[in-house]
Amino acid sequence: MKSFDYIRATSVAEAVQAGGTGARYIAGGTNLLDLMKLEVMAPDTLIDITRLGLDQIEELDNGGLRIGALVPNADLAADMRVRRGWPVLSRALLAGASGQLRNKATTGGNLLQRTRCYYFYDTAAPCNKREPGSGCAAMEGFNRILGVLGTSDHCIATHPSDMAVAMQVLDAEVEIEGKDGTRRVELDEFYRLPGDTPHIETVLAEGELITAVILPPAPGGKHVYQKVRDRASYAFALVSVACVAKVEGGVLEDISLAFGGLAPKPWRNRAVEDLLKGQAPSEALFEQAAETLLAEAKGHGSNDFKIPLTRRTLVSVLGEATKGAAA
């Protein structure tokens, strides 16, 4: 590990002031410290943001929630308001990592966790994300856990979060504090696709701090989070599907879908939702939705199975979300 300076910020303003090139915020440290030990990340300065009072979950006037960036994943999953109004989020969180990790991991840190691509972790391997322009060892290598959608010729990494997939299906927004003030960005806009700059993963500018995630009012309907993985717990998603669906009078009145394990960001495809909306649920319809979702999916060898796996899982999740609702 490269030696670094350590600053414990006491206010958001102080943290943002100290932020910038070469500095990193440290929250739970469950991802950043691992990467620093391997020198995949080697900041000069760590700014500890755990004492900024950003660990509250507040109800908003419009019925939404404001989740502080430092709320631990475990607390967020257990919050009664979340469990009642946004159960898909609670379920996604509980499907992630382990009890110990969820106690340490924070909302902001979870959004910004880096890919689990094996070669990204290996400083001896070429990796455009770690070292722009060096190449991508995963493309022709072992890529079982990597992406089939939204990838580029430069990088096929996936975003590993479960939490972010649920937030994506819930139309969450990220609240960001920078030297120029506060701004809000839709989660869907927050992440960038790799293109030819896979090292730039979000729209955050150097030194910007995530202060909260805003959830719109509870959407109602049926919430499903299905995570498919290589072992029963403590494994990242091979594929995950978050679904919020409302069926009325035998038709799918409203539906939102987001996917994990497939893409460089929590994946959402509005065309799939539009195709389903207003239709009577049926196996054939679900297959058609899967077809649309996966039309441009591209496997890279060891991750080819993700395509049929996603199709099967989506069809099954849609079946579950609309169960008993057929006209």
Partner 1 sequence: MTNELTLDKKADTRRLDEMAQGLLGTPMDRPEGVLKVTGKAIYADEERPSNLAYGYLVRATGPIGRIVSTNKDEIAKMPGVVAVIEEADLPRNSVQGATPTAAPTRGDRIDYIGQPLALVVADGFEEARHAAQAMTAVMEADTGLHFDPEAPGASIETPEAKQASQGDLDAAMASAAFTLDEEYHTSSMHSAAMEPHATIAEWKDGKLTMRGAYQMLKFNQKSVSDALDLDLSQIRLLSPFVGGGFGSKLGIAPEAIAAALASKAVGRPVSVAMHRRQVFETTTHRSATKQKVRLAADKDGKLIGVGHDNLVYNLPGEKFSEPTTQATPFTYAGENRVIGHHIARLHRPAAGSVRAPGEAVGATVFEMAMDEMAEKLDLDPIEFRVRNIPDLDPSKGIPFSENRMEAVLRDGAERFGWKHTKPKQRLEDGWWIGTGVAAAVRVNMMSETSARVRLTQDGAVVETDMTDIGTGTYAILTQVAGELLGLPANRVETRLGDSDFPKAFGSGGSVGASSSGTAVYLACMELRQNIAAALGVEETDLTLKDGRAISGNVAKPLTEIVPGEGWSATGTVKGGKAGSLVRQATWGSCFAEVAVNAVTGETRVRRMLGSFAAGRILNEKTAKSQCIGGMTWGLGMALHEELVHDPRDGHMVNRDLAEYHVPANLDVPQIEAHLLMEDRDDWANPVQAKGIGELGISGTGAAVINAIYNACGVRIRSLPGTLDKILAELP
Ligand X SMILES: Cc1cc2nc3c(=O)[nH]c(=O)nc-3n(C[C@H](O)[C@H](O)[C@H](O)COP(=O)(O)OP(=O)(O)OC[C@H]3O[C@@H](n4cnc5c(N)ncnc54)[C@H](O)[C@@H]3O)c2cc1C
CB 277 within 8 A of CB 254: yes
Is residue 221 a contact point for ligand X (CB under 6 A)?
Answer: no
Q: Which does 115 bind (CB under 5 to 8 A by kind): ligand SF4, ligand X, partner 1, none?
A: ligand SF4
Dig out the tokens for 210 from the structure.
Answer: 């995530």
CB of residue 196 to ligand X, shortest distance in Å: 22
169 to 208: interface string for ligand SF4, x by CB under 6 A: -----------------------------x----------
- Choose, by CB under 6 A, the member of 96, 207, 219, 221 that binds ligand X: 96
Cα dist from 191 to 24, 54, 137, 222, whole Å: 18, 22, 23, 26
Question: Interacting stretch for ligand SF4, rule CB under 6 A, among 47-55, 94-102, 127-135, 238-246?
Answer: 127-135
Question: Interacting stretch for partner 1, rule CB under 8 A, among 81-89, 242-250, 286-294, 313-321?
Answer: 313-321
Is residue 166 a contact point for ligand X (CB under 6 A)?
Answer: no
- Choose, by CB under 6 A, the member of 25, 86, 120, 191 that binds ligand SF4: 120
Question: Interacting stretch for ligand SF4, rule CB under 6 A, among 92-100, 136-144, 226-234, 279-287?
Answer: 136-144
Is residue 284 a contact point for partner 1 (CB under 8 A)?
Answer: no
User: What phi and psi values does residue 314 have, to the nearest 5 degrees?
Assistant: -60, -45
The footprint of ligand X on residues 44-83 (CB under 6 A) is 49, 69, 73
Question: Interacting stretch for ligand SF4, rule CB under 6 A, among 24-32, 90-98, 153-161, 170-178?
Answer: 153-161
Distance of CA 257 to the CA centre of its chain: 13
Kindly tell me which of 16 and 92 has the beta carbon lying closer to partner 1: 92
- Greatest CA separation found in the chain? 64
Is residue 265 a contact point for ligand SF4 (CB under 6 A)?
Answer: no
Is residue 209 a contact point for ligand X (CB under 6 A)?
Answer: yes
* 152: enclosing H helix or E strand: none
- Choose, by CB under 6 A, the member of 161, 168, 226, 310 that binds ligand X: 161
Distance of CA 49 to the CA centre of its chain: 21
Which of 22, 44, 95 is closest to 260 using CA atoms? 95
Cα angle: 40, vertex 45, 50; to 5 degrees: 100
The footprint of partner 1 on residues 94-123 (CB under 8 A) is 98, 116, 118-119, 121-123
Amino acid identity, residue 162? D
Q: Locate the DSSP E strands across the chain.
A: 5-8, 23-26, 45-48, 57-59, 65-68, 173-178, 181-186, 209-215, 222-228, 239-248, 251-260
